[in-house]
Chain A
Amino acid sequence: MAGGLEVRGVTKRYGELVAVRDLELEVRPGEVFGFVGSNGAGKTTTMRIVLGVLVADAGQVLWADSPIGFGTRRRIGYMPEQRGLYPKMRIGEQLRYLAQLHGTSSADASAAARRWLDRFGLADRAGDEVIKLSHGNQQRVQLAAALVFDPVLLILDEPFAGLDPEAVDSMSEVLHERAAAGVPVVFSSHQLDLVERICDRVGIIQRGHLVACGTIDELRGRGPRRLWVDAPAAPPGWAAALPGVSVDRVDGTRALLKLDASVDDQDVLRVALATGPVREFRRDQPSLLDVFREAMSETRVVAAS
C-alpha cells in the first residue's frame, strides 16, 4: 500500500481480557474512515495503540509502509474521547502550546492558533479560559488542538458526541478538507447515520476484532440480497416455493424475499409476473444500521477486506 496507516495483527490484553485481537486495518491517504462498534469493543484501545500511548502485545502499526516511529506519532492529530484540555488556560495560549509541543516553531504555532480559532469563529475568545466556553465551543477548541500543528494523520475518538447538527456539519467539513489535502482521517462514532453520511470507508469492530470493513456500498451490498415484491394476485406462499428463496416479512400484498447467492432475481420476477400484475419489484438496500446489527448478531464473520 502506498502511504497511509496500516494496523497489522495487533493484539492487546488486559490480564484475562482481550481488548483487541489480531486486528487488521488500513486507512489510505485522503480517506475518511469510520470506526464503528459498541462500547468496549476496542476502538479506543486501537487508537491509543496507533498513537503509541499504549503498547500492543503483538502485531505492528505501519506508516508509509514502515513501522511507525515517534517522529510520525508526534505529527498525529488526536482527539481523545474524554475531552482533554487545561481548563484554566487561555485557549489561544493553549493551542500555541500544543502546536509547539508537536514540534511547530513558535511563530508558526501562533499563526496556526490564530488561523484555527478564526476558522471556528473563536478569534475573539482567544483570551478566554477553556472553562468559560460552551460545550460546543470547547469541542471546537478540542478539534483545533488536533489540527493546529498540521498533522499527517487525524485520529478522532467520538468527535461528534454531543454536538448540534450545525456543529456536526462544520466539523465534518473540516475533516473532508483535511482528507482532500491527503491526510488519512480515522474517527469512531456511535452515530451510524452520521458515519454513513461522512465516511468513505467503515470498519465494524466487535469484541476486539474487525468483523466488517469496506466502503458503505460494499457493506450494504454484503450478505443476502433482499427484494421487495408486490404481486397482489399471487397466491400466498408463491415465493417460498421457489428454490433458494425465503420470505422474511409480509406486509399486506408485499413480501420481502431473501435470495440465496445462486438465485437469479430475474427468475423471481418472471414467476411473479406469471401470477398476474407486479406493482413493485425493488432491491432492498440495508442501512448501515442494518449491516451493523447483522454483524453484531453473527458471532463470527470473516473480515470483508
Chain B
Amino acid sequence: MAKAWTRDGLRATALLSPAYLWLTAAVFLPLSAMLYYSLLSDVPFGDAEWRITLDNYRAFFETGTYAALLWKSIRLGLTVTIVCILIGFPCAYVLAKTIRGRSREALFLLIILPFWSNSLVRIFSWAIVLRGNGVLELAVNAVLPFDIRLNLMFTQTAVVIGLVHSYLPYVILTTYLALQAIDDTLIDAARSMGAGKLTILRRLILPLSLPGLLAGAVLVFVPVVGAFMEPRILGGRFGTYYGTVIEDQFVAVFNWPLGAALSFILLAVVLLILALSSPILRRARA
C-alpha cells in the first residue's frame, strides 16, 4: 500500500511539476523579486550605488500625490463597477428568466464574445466613435433638431465608457449564472402568496443573486483599479491614474524601485479586496 502511494505520488509530481515550475518562474518568483526591488534605493545594475531602504514606500505616504492618484483610481473602479451592475443586472435577468431555449444560448454567447476579443482594439474602436466630429457626434446631430458639440474624447467620461464596455460582460456572466440557479417555482410561490413585483425583487431575487453580483463586482473592480492603457488612449490629458504612473516608472522615468513599491501597494489593495470577498466568491462558485 505504501509502495502504491509512493508510485502515485511520483506520477502526480511528474504531471504537476512542469506547470508549477513554470508558474513559479514566471509569476511567483517575479512577484517576490518585485517586493525586494521596492526596498532598493536604485536599480542594482552597472555601478549604481544602492542600499535597502523604505524610501519608496515613504514617498507614497508622505507626498500625497500617489495616494491621491490611487484614490482617484479606486473611485474610477467604483464608478465603473456601479455602472456595470446597473446596466448589467437587468440584462442578465432578462436573459436568465424571460428568454428560453436556443436563442438564450446564442444571446449569451453574443454578450460574452466581445469580452474574449482584443481589449486594446475595443478601446481603440471607442476612440474612433467618441472623437470630435466623429460618428457619435454626427449621429446625435442627425437626430436632434439643433446642433450640439459632442466631443467626449479625452475626458473621464470616455474612460468610464471604455472601461464599462470592457468589463460589462463579467457582471452579466456571473449575475446570469446566479439568477439561473434561482428556482422559478420559488418566484411563483411568492407571487401566489400575494407578493408584488418589487417585493419579489427585493426580498427574493436580489438576496439570492447577491453572491453572483458581488463576484462580478470584484472581477470588474480589481482590473479597473490597475488600468493604464484605457485611460491613456481615451483620457488624454485627464488620463493620469495610478496605473499610468506605475507604467511611467517602468517605461519613461525608469525608477523601477519606486514603480515596484507602487505596484506592491496596488497588489496589497487588490489582495485585501479579494480576501474580503473570498467567502462570498466561494459561495458564488458553489
To the question of whether A and B form a pair in one complex, the answer is: no
- A residues in contact (CB < 8 Å) with B: none
Binding site for A on B (CB under 8 A): none
